[in-house]
C-alpha cells in the first residue's frame, strides 16, 4: 500500500509539473492562492493565540495579536497575486544564495579539508541560487522552474 501511494504521488507530481509548465500563469495563480491561504491560516492562529494569551500576559497577547493582523494582511496580499508570489520566491532564492555564499567563504578558512570542500560546495550552490533568483523574477520562468522541480520530485518518487 505504501509503495502504491508513493508511486501515485510521483505520477501526480509529474502530471502537475507538466501542467504548471504548460499553463504557467494558472500554476502560479494556484500556488499564490495556496500560499496566501496558508499564511491566512497562520494569521488566524496567531490572533487566536493572542486572544488566549491576554489572560496570562497582556503584552504577549497584544504582540501575538499585532503579529496576527500583520500576517493576515500579508496573506491577503499574497492570495492570488502572481507578482507578489514571484517577488517572494525570487527574494527567498536570493537570500538563500547569499547565506550559502557567506557560509561557503567562512568554510574556506577552516583548517579541515572537508570543511573547505563544503565551502566550495556552498559557494557554487549559493551562486546557483542567486542565478535562479534572477531568473525567477520572470513569472513564466518561475513557473517552468516549479514545473521542473515537480517533475524531478515525481521521478524520484518513482525510482
Cα-Cα end-to-end distance for the chain: 16
Domain residues for 133?
2-158
Q: What is the pTM of this model?
A: 0.78
- Which of the four pLDDT bands, split at 50, 70 and 90, describes residue 80? very high
Find the mean pLDDT for residues 12-24.
Answer: 94
Q: Is the pLDDT of residue 96 over 90?
A: yes
Nearest to 38 by CA among 72, 83, 84, 66: 72
**Residue 123 to residue 154: CA distance in whole angstroms:** 28
- For the chain, the 3-state helix, strand and coil shares in percent, each to the nearest 5, are 90, 0, 10
Nearest to 136 by CA among 151, 148, 123: 148
pLDDT tens, position by position, 111-154: 888 899 999 999 999 999 999 999 999 999 999 999 999 999 99
Our count of domains for the chain comes to 1
Q: Is the pLDDT of residue 159 over 90?
A: no
Locus of grid cell 544564495: 97
Amino acid at each position: 500500500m505504501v509503495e502504491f501511494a508513493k508511486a501515485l504521488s510521483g505520477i501526480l507530481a509529474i502530471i502537475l509539473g507538466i501542467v504548471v509548465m504548460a499553463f504557467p500563469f494558472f500554476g502560479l495563480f494556484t500556488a499564490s492562492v495556496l500560499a496566501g491561504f496558508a499564511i491566512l491560516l497562520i494569521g488566524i492562529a496567531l490572533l487566536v493565540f493572542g486572544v488566549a494569551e491576554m489572560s496570562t500576559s497582556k503584552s504577549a497577547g497584544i504582540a501575538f495579536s499585532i503579529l496576527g493582523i500583520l500576517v493576515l494582511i500579508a496573506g491577503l496580499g499574497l492570495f492570488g497575486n502572481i507578482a507578489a508570489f514571484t517577488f517572494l520566491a525570487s527574494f527567498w532564492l536570493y537570500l538563500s544564495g547569499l547565506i550559502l555564499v557567506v557560509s561557503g567563504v567562512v568554510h574556506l578558512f577552516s583548517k579541515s579539508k572537508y570543511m573547505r570542500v563544503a565551502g566550495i560546495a556552498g559557494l557554487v550552490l549559493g551562486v546557483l541560487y542567486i542565478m535562479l533568483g534572477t531568473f525567477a523574477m520572470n513569472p513564466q520562468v518561475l513557473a517552468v522552474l516549479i514545473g521542473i522541480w515537480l517533475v524531478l520530485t515525481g521521478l524520484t518518487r518513482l525510482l
